[in-house]
Structure 1
Amino acid sequence: MSKVKYYYDSENLAYKRIKTKKRKKFGYILLFLVASALFGFLGLILLINTPYFETPKDKLLTSELESMKLNYKLLNKKADLMDEALKAISERDNNIYRIYFNTSPITEEERKAGFGGVNRYRDLEGYNNSELIINTSQRIDGLMKELAIQSKSLDDIVTLGKQKEKLLAAIPAIQPVKNEDLKRMASGYGYRNDPFTKIRKFHYGMDFTAKTGTPIFATGDGVVLKADNSLSGYGNHIEINHGFGYITLYAHLSKYNCRPGQRVKRGDIIGYVGSTGRSEAPHLHYEVLKNGERINPINFYYGSISAEEYVAISKLANQENQSLD
C-alpha cells in the first residue's frame, strides 16, 4: 500500500492530503516499464555473450572453430615441408639439370610471381578468422603455382634429356676408317698444296689413305642425303644428315653400301674407299659441316681413339703436306 502524503494549508491552518494526477501517475508507470525493458535487454545481451551460459549449439560451434584452427595449423606445417622440398628440387633444377643441358635457369621472380588482377580472397573477408584463412589460402595457392612451374620445368628437362641422348648419338664422334686399316693420315684440315695445280689452298676435310675397298663407317646416327657423284671433284660420295645442324661427307668412294633416305647408325658400313673423282690415290676425303659451315673433323674423334692416338693424329693433321684431292 502506497504512503499517503500531506501538505500544510496556511490559509486554513490545516493539513490536507496530496492528490496525484492520473496523467502523471501513468507517466511514472510508463517510465518504469521502459527502464525495465532496457535493463532486461542489456541483461540478455550480457547473458548471450557470457561463456557460462552457452547453449549446446554454441558449444558445438566453438568446438568446430577450434578444430578448424588446429587443422589450419597442421596445414601450414605441411606447407612448410612442401616448401622445403620444393626449394630443394628447384635448386637441383637450376644448378644441376639446367646447367648440364646448357639451359637458362628459372629465376626466383618467375617461381614466386603472385596472382595479378582481382582480389581472389574477397569471399573470405569479414570473419573472425579471416586473416588465418586468407594467409593459408594465399600460401597454398603460391605453392600450387610453384609446383606447376616446377612440373613444367621437369617436363622440359625430360625432353632435353631425350634430345641430348639423340644429340650424343648423332654427333659424328668416330673416325670413318679404322686405325688398323689406315696406311697413314695423308692430309688434315687447313692450307695444303693442291696435288694437281701445286697451288696452296684451303683443304676443308681430312684425307685418310687406305686400300681400295677398305670399309667406311658412318660416324654418327643420321639419314643418308646423297649417295652419288653429283659434286664436282668428289667422285662417288655420300652425305649424311645427322640432325642438330650436323652433316658429314665421305668422298672418292669405290662403291656404296647405302642409299638416299636410308637411316644409318654410328658404325654402320656405308661404303668403301676408292679413288674416284679428283683424286691422286686411294683415300677417303672426310668433311664435317655444322650449320652449313665446314669445321675441323679432328675435334670429333673422341668416340673411337685414345688420348695418345688423338695426339698423334693431331700432329699428322697439322703438318702442311700435300693433300690427295
Structure 2
Amino acid sequence: MSKVKYYYDPENLSYKKISPKRGRKIGFALLFLLSAALFGFLGFIILLNTSYLETPKDRFQAREIQNLSINYKLLNKKIDQIEEVLGAIEDRDNNIYRVYFNSEPIPMEQRKEGFGGVNRYKELQGYNNSDLVINTTKRVDVLTKELVIQSKSLDEIIGLAKGKEKLLASIPAIQPVKNEQLKRMASGFGYRSDPFTKARKFHYGMDFTSPQGTPIYATGDGTVLKADNSLSGYGNHIEINHGFGYVTLYAHLSKYNVKRGQKVKRGDVIGYVGSTGRSEAPHLHYEVIKDGEKVNPLNFYYGSISAEEYINISKIANQENQSLD
C-alpha cells in the first residue's frame, strides 16, 4: 500500500492530503517500464556472452574449436619429432657426408632461416587461438624449407659419391708390370746417373726391368691420348688421360695393344715391354702426371702391392743408381 502524503495549509491551519496527478502517474509507469526493458536487454547481452545461455550450434562450435586446439598441440608434438630426426640427418650431412667428400657444410643459419618481409600470417590473426595456429604454421613453413635444402644437399652428395667412385677407379693405383714378371726395380723417381752420358740428372719416372714382350697394364680407367713414338727418347709410348688431372705415360714399348681414343679399364693390357727409343735394355719407363706436374709413381701403388712389398720397392726406388733411359 502506497504511503499517503499531506501538506500544511497555513490559511486554514490544517493538513490536507496530496493527490498525485494522473499524467504524472503514467510518466512514472513508463519510466519504470523503460528502465526494466533496458536492464533486461543488458542482462540478455551478458547472458549471450556467458556459458549459461548456449544454443546447440554454439556448443557444437565450441567443441570444434576445442578439438582443433588439441589437434594443433598434437601436430606440434609431431613437428618436434620430425625436427629431431631432420636435425640428426643435417648433422650427419654436415659432419660426415660433406667432410668425406671435401664439400663445404651448409651453415645452420641458412638451414633454419625463416621468412622475412611481408606478413605471411596476417589472415590467421584475430582469433582465440591465433598464436597457436600462427606458431604451428610458421614451424611447418620452416620445416618445409629445411626439407627442401636437405633434399638438394643429398642430391649433391649423391653426385659427389658418383664422382668419387669414378675418381677412385681413375686414379693410377696399381703397378704397370706385375711383380712376378719383374726382374728388378731398376730405378726410381729422383736424381739418377744417365746411362749414356753418366751425368747426374733428374729421372721423372720409374723403370721396371722385365723380359721383352712382358704385358703392361693400364693403372687406372681412362682414355688413350697417344699410342705412337712422337716424344723424343721415349720410343714407342702410350699416354692415358684418367681425368681428375691424372695422366700416365708408358715408354720404350715393343708394341701396342691399344690405339688413340680407346677407353681402357684398370688392369687392361695396353702394350708390351721393349727397348725402343733412348733405352739401354728392355724395361718399362712409367710416369704419373698430376695437374701437369710429374709426381712420384711410388705413391700410387696401394691397389696392387702389400705394405711389405711397398717398403721393399721404396728402398730400391730411392737408391741413387743408374737409370735405363
- TM-score band by shorter chain is over 0.9
Secondary structure of the corresponding residue to residue 211 of structure 1: coil
Please say if 1:20 is aligned against 2:21: yes
Counterpart position of 1:275: 275
Output the amino acid matched with 2:123: D
Closer, same or farther: CA 54–19 of 1 in aligned 2, 3 Å: closer
- Higher mean C-alpha displacement, 56-65 vs 120-129: 120-129
* Separation (CA, whole Å) in 2 of partners of 1:165 and 1:149: 24
* Superposition map of 1:284-303 within 5 A: 284-303=284-303
Output the amino acid matched with 1:270: I
Measured against aligned partners, the alpha-carbon deviations of 1:269-323 in whole angstroms (never above 9, x if no partner) come to 0111111122222111111111111110000101111111100100111000111
Q: Quick check: 2:187–2:322 contact (8 Å CA) kept in 1?
A: yes
Q: Quick check: 2:4–2:17 contact (8 Å CA) kept in 1?
A: no
* Superposition map of 1:261-272 within 5 A: 261-272=261-272
Counterpart position of 2:255: 255
Measured against aligned partners, the alpha-carbon deviations of 1:188-230 in whole angstroms (never above 9, x if no partner) come to 1111112222221111111111122111100000111111112
Counterpart position of 1:152: 152
* Separation (CA, whole Å) in 2 of partners of 1:6 and 1:87: 93
Gaps of 5+ in 2: none
- Report percent identity of matched pairs: 73
Query: TM-score normalized by structure 2?
Result: 0.93
Deviation at 1:18, TM superposition (A): 4.4
* Separation (CA, whole Å) in 1 of partners of 2:263 and 2:8: 136
- Higher mean C-alpha displacement, 268-277 vs 95-104: 95-104
Secondary structure of the corresponding residue to residue 11 of structure 2: coil
Deviation at 1:8, TM superposition (A): 3.5
Counterpart position of 1:98: 98
Output the amino acid matched with 1:153: S
Please say if 1:62 is aligned against 2:83: no
Deviation at 1:110, TM superposition (A): 2.2
* Separation (CA, whole Å) in 2 of partners of 1:203 and 1:116: 63
* Separation (CA, whole Å) in 2 of partners of 1:91 and 1:201: 52
Closer, same or farther: CA 19–53 of 1 in aligned 2, 3 Å: closer
Q: Quick check: 2:169–2:266 contact (8 Å CA) kept in 1?
A: yes
Closer, same or farther: CA 39–306 of 1 in aligned 2, 3 Å: same
* Separation (CA, whole Å) in 2 of partners of 1:281 and 1:50: 109
Q: Quick check: 1:7–1:18 contact (8 Å CA) kept in 2?
A: no
Q: Quick check: 1:9–1:16 contact (8 Å CA) kept in 2?
A: no
Counterpart position of 2:120: 120
* Separation (CA, whole Å) in 2 of partners of 1:275 and 1:25: 142
Query: TM-score normalized by structure 1?
Result: 0.93
* Separation (CA, whole Å) in 2 of partners of 1:41 and 1:294: 100
Counterpart position of 2:38: 38
Output the amino acid matched with 1:89: I
* Separation (CA, whole Å) in 2 of partners of 1:28 and 1:227: 125
